[in-house]
């Protein structure tokens, strides 16, 4: 196995001590992680701990609970929510997973220890360990261990106070339903079919002849090898004492669970789930938005001061990894009091003069996020939107250079989700609308048709993909759409593949994600009704000028077959009965 770089381990480290502390409640494991980190920092040591936890939800170090987890479900079921010491996305742990925490004091002469090579170095070490046991695993960047393309585990890292912290987990069994219920943006859908599908996306070390002790020994030896240290086993009783959270360095992003969320968010599940402590949620930032980057999602919140001319606070968070650990907190401090019209330049100056390493996202992504947040302010003034209404808009701009009003001025089509039509409407699963006046969708059709826009009801996910392809072929500049932000985050690749800028309005009401019926929704069989935000839609449409003849009149159709690939772009034959 090739080593990506010579690991800059502290010269005082000559061995990697390891122990298995067994099954403990999640909060106790977090305290042991913190104690292990403090010991390595103070004694320039290297430690490796194997451990297990009952069902628990673990946020990444820089995540906000409301974007990552189904917190209400967790508290109702007594599932504790904790914050890892490392970055990356939220994860679900249970007693059938083997977790490991590695802490290594880094060289005193390393002023900026590289972060990027560590996931590959440790992931490949675990790959080697499993290969020695006859398991055909391999490391798949950026942080996955896989067997035959299915996820076996993940590796997350951080460097804090001169100590490398790595956390990894390996599945010994698969609780797909637990994962999907706890994580807010699951990879699959919570239906029997979706759960079965999720199980096929994961792999487990479920061979009964493969003992946990053998896996631990192989991992200990392989990790020691890449670090150049001697493997030494120690008794759990000799392990460093646990340490409770309590410093600013152990807190999550501002605004999460009552301001600066401590590492331990829920210490232990109450005996009675109904007695779970109330969560003191901070007031949301006035202007909010998000951008999808290669390595995760960046969320931002910007609150102007009462004058509306300067930044009172700026918060950035997400399922991301970077170094130094306090980078985003320092960014928030640097942006406070900056004039809005100077904010982008201040951000560029901060990043240019602050040495940092960003994994899976770039300075350009941060600039794109700030530009989006500043654009919310423009939307408020030009469209007469409140801060909450401006937050309902999602801007998909592949080039990242155009503001929402400019996009709306070029909008030529409108996409409406079928789930916003009433369940009793015969047009719910059909394109078109008679504008009977009994639902918000009819008003959307009326507003769009009045401006010469082609209005299309999206009937399922496959229909969305073909519709976007047809809009691209028709050389549509921009379109206006409606969908929930969960759908946009999960299926952002489909919007990106089309390459067409869009302004999307977040829908409300019965949401297939919150109702855990995504599979039905994607297939066009969702039975509940979502709601279009009609006040926002009316204000947005006021910025859309008449765009001339319908799209179908501006292009030669590729197909005239009913329900064929381009029938959606033909002039509507609307039944108004």
Q: What is the pLDDT of residues 547-577, one digit of tens each?
A: 655 554 444 333 333 443 334 454 443 433 3
What confidence score (pLDDT) does residue 550 get? 52
State pLDDT tens for residues 297-318. Answer: 899 999 998 888 999 999 999 9
pLDDT at 138: 94
Q: What are phi and psi of 368, to 5 degrees?
A: -65, -40
pLDDT score, position 277: 29
pLDDT value at position 199? 65
- Edge-to-edge strand list for the sheet holding 163-171: 137-140, 144-147, 150-160, 163-171, 97-105, 46-52, 15-23, 230-233
pLDDT given for residue 575 in this prediction:
39
Write down the pTM of the prediction: 0.77
Q: What is the pLDDT of residues 246-271, one digit of tens each?
A: 544 455 665 554 333 434 444 333 33
Flag residues of the chain having pLDDT under 50. Answer: 1-4, 186-191, 247-249, 257-285, 510-524, 526, 552-568, 570-577
**Which residues have a Cβ under 8 Å from the Cβ of 153 and sit 6 or more positions away?**
126, 144, 145, 168, 169, 170, 171
pLDDT of residue 57: 96
DSSP state of 199: H
| Beta bridge partners of residue 530, listed in sequence order | 509
Long-range contacts at 235-241 (CB < 8 A, ≥ 24 apart)? 235/19, 236/19, 236/20, 236/21, 236/22, 238/19, 239/19, 239/21, 239/32, 239/35, 239/36, 239/49, 240/32, 240/35, 240/36, 240/38, 240/39, 240/47, 241/35
What pLDDT score was predicted for residue 510?
46
Distances (CA, A) of 386 to 50, 375, 382, 482, 538: 50, 13, 11, 19, 13
pLDDT reported for residue 215: 96
Calpha distance 467→470 (Å, rounded)? 5
Ordered by where they begin, the domains of the chain are 15-236 (3.30.930.10), 285-388 (3.30.390.50), 392-577 (no CATH)
Where on the phi/psi map is residue 40: left (φ > 0), alpha (ψ -120 to 50), or beta? alpha
Closest to 129 in 3D by CA, of 216, 68, 49, 33: 216
pLDDT at 261: 40
Taking the C-alpha atoms of residue 170 and residue 94, their distance in angstroms, rounded to an integer, is: 11
Q: Is residue 207 helix, strand or coil?
A: coil
Closest residue by Cα to residue 33 from 234, 264, 218: 264
Q: Supply the pLDDT for residue 7.
A: 64
144, two tokens: 């996955």
């Amino acid at each position: 196995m090739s080593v990506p770089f010579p690991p800059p381990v502290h010269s005082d480290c000559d061995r990697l001590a390891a122990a298995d502390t067994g099954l403990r409640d999640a909060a106790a494991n977090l305290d042991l992680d913190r104690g292990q980190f403090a010991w390595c920092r103070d004694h320039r040591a290297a430690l490796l701990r194997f451990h297990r936890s009952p069902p628990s939800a673990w946020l990444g170090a820089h995540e906000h609970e409301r974007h990552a987890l189904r917190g209400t479900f967790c508290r109702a079921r007594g599932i504790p929510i904790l914050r890892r010491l490392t970055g990356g996305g939220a994860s679900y742990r249970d007693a059938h997973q083997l977790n490991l925490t590695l802490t290594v004091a880094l060289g005193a002469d390393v002023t900026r220890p590289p972060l990027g090579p560590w996931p590959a170095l440790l992931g490949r070490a675990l790959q080697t360990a499993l290969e020695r046991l006859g398991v055909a695993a391999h490391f798949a960047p950026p942080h996955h261990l896989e067997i035959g393309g299915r996820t076996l585990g993940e590796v997350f890292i951080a460097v804090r106070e001169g100590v490398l912290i790595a956390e990894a987990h390996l599945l010994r069994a698969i609780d797909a339903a637990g994962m999907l219920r706890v994580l807010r943006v699951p990879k699959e859908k919570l239906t029997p079919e979706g759960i079965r599908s999720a199980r096929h996306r994961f792999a487990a070390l479920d061979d009964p002849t493969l003992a946990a002790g053998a896996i631990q020994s192989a991992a200990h030896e392989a990790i020691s090898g890449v670090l150049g240290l001697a493997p030494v086993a120690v008794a759990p009783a000799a392990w460093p004492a646990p340490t409770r959270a309590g410093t600013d360095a152990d807190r999550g992003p501002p605004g999460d669970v009552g301001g600066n969320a401590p590492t331990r968010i829920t210490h232990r599940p109450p005996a009675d789930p109904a007695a779970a402590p109330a969560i003191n949620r901070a007031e949301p930032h006035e202007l909010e938005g998000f951008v999808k980057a290669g390595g995760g999602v960046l969320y931002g919140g910007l609150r102007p001061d009462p004058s509306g001319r300067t930044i009172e606070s700026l918060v950035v968070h997400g399922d991301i990894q970077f170094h130094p650990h306090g980078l985003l907190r320092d960014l928030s401090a640097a942006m406070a009091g900056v004039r809005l019209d100077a904010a982008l330049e201040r951000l560029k100056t901060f990043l240019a003069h602050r040495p940092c390493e960003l994994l899976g996202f770039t300075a350009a992504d941060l600039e794109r996020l700030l530009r989006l947040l500043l654009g919310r302010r423009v939307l408020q003034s030009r469209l007469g939107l409140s801060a909450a209404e401006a937050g309902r808009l999602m801007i998909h701009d592949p080039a990242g250079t155009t503001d929402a009003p400019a996009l709306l001025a070029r909008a030529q089509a409108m996409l409406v989700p079928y789930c916003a039509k009433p369940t009793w409407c015969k047009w719910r699963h059909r394109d078109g609308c008679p504008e009977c006046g009994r639902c918000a969708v009819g008003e959307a059709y009326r507003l769009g048709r009045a401006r010469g826009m082609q209005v299309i009801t999206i009937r399922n996910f496959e229909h969305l993909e073909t519709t976007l392809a047809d809009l691209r072929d028709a050389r549509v500049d921009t379109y206006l759409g409606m969908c929930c932000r969960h759908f946009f985050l999960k299926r952002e690749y489909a919007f990106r593949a089309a390459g067409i800028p869009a302004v999307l309005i977040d829908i409300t009401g019965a949401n297939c994600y919150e109702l855990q019926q995504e599979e039905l929704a994607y297939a066009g069989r969702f039975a509940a009704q979502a709601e279009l935000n009609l006040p926002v839609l009316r204000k947005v449409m006021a910025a859309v000028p008449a765009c001339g003849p319908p799209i179908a009149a501006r292009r030669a159709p590729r197909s005239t077959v009913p329900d064929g690939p381009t029938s959606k772009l033909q002039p509507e034959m609307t039944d108004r009965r």
